[in-house]
Amino acid sequence: MPPIKRTKFKLAPEQLLDMFYWLKLIRAFDERLSILVKQGKVRSGVYTGIGQEAIIVGTCFGLRKEDYICPLHRDLGSFLMKGVEPRVMMAQMFAKTTGLSKGRDSALHSGVSELGIFGNTSMLGANLPVAAGLALTFKMEKIDNVVIAYFGEGASNVGDFHEGLNFAGVHQLPVIFVCENNQYAYSVPIEKSMAIDDVADRAHGYGFDGVAINGNDVLAVYQATQGALARARGGEGPTLIECKTYRWHGHSEHDKAFYRSDEELAMWKSRDPIPTFTTYLRTRNVLDDDKVKDVETRVTSTIDEAVEFAMNSPDPTPEDATTDLYA
């Protein structure tokens, strides 16, 4: 199989600044959630993706509204990038009536079809055959939209992963499988669950390309995604992009992650995707102190407003349980 060609791309300074804004917003959203959990204010399990933001920004940036994403528990940022307002997302985490599911679920299983977001099921890997099914619809209807499905390296050991990728490969479907390889599936390190180094290699068994990249480099993720999108839209089938990264917090906010060392965490923190990108933008004169301040002010006020909105929104009533039902 010929190796995937590097895709050329050009982003205007405003687009690069926009990427910077999204990285900061998604980081701030998760950081605030982490605090709110400790204050007992959030009624959901919280699985932050702090440290992994470059994957969401690099894959979602510039997607069409009609393209579908299939996010997982750690991908709240993808909801924001696909168009869910931060205040609505925050209300969702507070299980308020103003949230996506109006307080009906544990926050992580909602979808928004008009924004191209397919809600996930709890079973790991189960979103991948679904993503292939969505992509099959696009193919059958001859629409050049694409599906992006996220999963962890842990999920790549589950049967559904293999069935989903096999089906997508056989039918050459317009789907991009994005592995967020953050080195641990809950407490299980990758070397205890996989006998190979790269999840990307698994794609070859299903007849399409897989590429392993630095998932903390937003431009590398963007570049790989643009190539995969072009192939998918052009009828050339699926791609697997494995993004090597690390989650800074535990599996969820109740997990203190004693199974890993401080040294390991410090090493990955030194590869924080945000300062790396900041340095790049400063070197290119896209960013200066004033612009950083401006972005940070906007981010803080957006998050403050979202929390305020969520806290002041009404709780669902018992009667609400019998509305919006399908028979």
Chain residues that interact with ligand TPP, rule: CB under 6 A: 74, 122-124, 152-155, 158, 180, 182, 184-186, 251
Q: CB 17 → ligand TPP: shortest distance, Å?
A: 28
Question: Could you identify the residue written with the tokens 């600044």?
Answer: 17
180 or 253, CB closer to ligand TPP?
Answer: 180
11 or 158, CB closer to ligand TPP?
Answer: 158
Active-site pick, 247, 280, 284, 298: 247
Q: How far apart are CA 59 and CA 149, in angstroms?
A: 10
**Which two tokens mark 234?**
């052009």
259 part of the active site? yes
Active-site pick, 259, 271, 280, 298: 259
Q: CB 212 → ligand TPP: shortest distance, Å?
A: 15
Q: How far apart are CA 201 and CA 225, in angstroms?
A: 17
96 or 249, CB closer to ligand TPP?
Answer: 249
90 or 185, CB closer to ligand TPP?
Answer: 185
Q: CB 158 → ligand TPP: shortest distance, Å?
A: 5
Q: CB 177 → ligand TPP: shortest distance, Å?
A: 13
Active-site pick, 251, 271, 298, 326: 251
231 part of the active site? no
CB neighbourhood size of 273 (10 A) = 23
Q: How far apart are CA 25 and CA 48, in angstroms?
A: 13
Pair 220, 213: CB distance under 8 Å: yes
93 or 126, CB closer to ligand TPP?
Answer: 126
Question: Could you identify the residue written with the tokens 């937003």?
Answer: 218
**Which two tokens mark 106?**
């544990």
**108-145 exposure pattern, b = at least 16 Cβ within 10 A, e = fewer:** bebbbeeebbbbbeeebbbbbbbbbbbbbebbeeeeeb
Q: Compute the residue count for the chain.
A: 327
**Which two tokens mark 227?**
């190539």
E strands, the chain, are 68-70, 147-152, 175-181, 184-185, 188-189, 209-214, 239-244
Q: CB 75 → ligand TPP: shortest distance, Å?
A: 9
251 part of the active site? yes
Q: CB 304 → ligand TPP: shortest distance, Å?
A: 28
Q: How far is CA 67 from CA 76, 152, 193, 258, in A?
A: 17, 21, 32, 39
Active-site amino acid positions: 247, 251, 259
